[in-house]
Amino acid sequence: MSRMTTTDPLAPFQWLNVSESSGGGALGTIFSVAFFRGLAPAEVVRRFSRGEDSGQESDFGGLDDKAYEFVTETGGGDGGGHVGVFQAGEWCVAVEPHGWMATLHEVVTELSRGCEVLAVTRHDYAAEHSFEYAIDGTVVTGYRLRHPYERYGSASDRLNGFMRELGMGLDEPEGEAAWDAAWEDNYSTAVPRAFALAAKVTGVSFTPDMLTRPMLVGPIVER
């Protein structure tokens, strides 16, 4: 008789959840990743740069160097200042080291005009890991990653089926013990669960090998 095996749906995304004390992983403890459907990579760069730049060919090392230099010059309060974009099937993936612009409401709504955008931010210092799914200028579903029971958007329950499959508690906890249990459950799993959710929506699993792909790198111009 064959033995049944189970696969942890979060395992492919634990590389995005490495703590600072353990080195922070390839992207560190502050970054955003956005998935675009309906735009080519050069157009995604133009969206981030507000039409000023179509991107220069580079690799992740070049992107990270530009972001680190920007952080050093600005003190870190304005994010990483740069984005790297590459094609992944029907979607483009935009990587924003040291930044969080892609999940700001006023930014993601503009980025999504005429297309579809799903963005995830990890930000350990603000403790505001976030998820935004927007279509043609409207946030459809969003939530703070450690609070999946506080969803918002024009169709805040649209992704509930996927979220339940990933073990997210979607009902607001009642009572101190329930709040404590929800916090404990979400604290260390929030980031990999968000990227697992992104993979269910987009069909794109953001795995470490993606950082080895050539990309177009351009500046982020603040709104």
Residue 3 lies in a domain: no
pLDDT band at 138 (very low <50, low <70, confident <90, very high): very high
For 46, 214, 218, the CA distances from 63, given in Å and listed in that order, are 16, 10, 9
Cβ pair 25, 19 in contact under 8 A:
no
Q: Is the pLDDT of residue 31 over 70?
A: yes
Residue 126 lies in a domain: yes
Structural domain count, the chain:
1
- With CA atoms as reference, report the closest residue to 122 among 103, 141, 109: 103
Residue 119 lies in a domain: yes
Residue 13 lies in a domain: no
Residue 132 lies in a domain: yes
Residue 6 lies in a domain: no
Q: Is the pLDDT of residue 181 over 90?
A: no
Domain membership of residue 154 as a residue range = 27-219
Tokens 């612009």 -> residue = 101
Q: Over the stretch 78-98, which tens digit does the pLDDT of each residue have?
A: 999 999 999 999 999 999 999
Residue 137 lies in a domain: yes
- With CA atoms as reference, report the closest residue to 27 among 93, 89, 88: 93
Distance separating alpha carbons of residues 102 and 117, to the nearest angstrom = 9
What's this model's pTM, rounded to 2 decimal places?
Answer: 0.94
**Mean pLDDT (the chain, rounded):** 93
pLDDT band at 105 (very low <50, low <70, confident <90, very high): very high
Provide the pLDDT for residue 2.
46
Residue 52 lies in a domain: yes
